[in-house]
Amino acid sequence: MAPIAEYVNVLIYLGVALFIGVAALLVGALLGPKKPGRAKLMPYESGNDPAGEVKRFPVHFYVVAMLFILFDVEVAFLWPYAVSAGELGLYGFLGVLAFTLLLLAGFLYEWWKGVMRWH
């Protein structure tokens, strides 16, 4: 099989996924009810009427959440390497080492900037 032919399957998959996503949004927009009222436009707060001032979470919580997702995705990228480490040899190891060192540098930078300090 030609190298470019291997990407055709991926492009078809992405096209079908994009079509399904857009079609679902369009069908919902066209067939969904469109009767906004005062009650529907009110902020919803666990079935209760909103009361008092809204307190936002500090940005720190979101940054820690993004760091968690980042290192969770790192594990997802390391899993294929762990499965085929023997076949990839030294070049595969050096690639994973560079990937991990890059993430470690980002983590150390976040630590240095004080993201990990709980105030």
Q: Which residue is associated with the tokens 């500090």?
A: 58
Q: Phi then psi for 37, rounded to 5 degrees?
A: -135, 180
Predicted TM-score of the model (pTM)? 0.48
pLDDT tens digits for range 1-54: 677 878 898 899 999 999 999 999 999 999 988 888 877 777 766 666 666 676
* Cβ atoms of 99 and 77 closer than 8 Å: yes
52: helix, strand or coil: coil
CA distance 55 to 53: 6
CA distance 74 to 93: 15
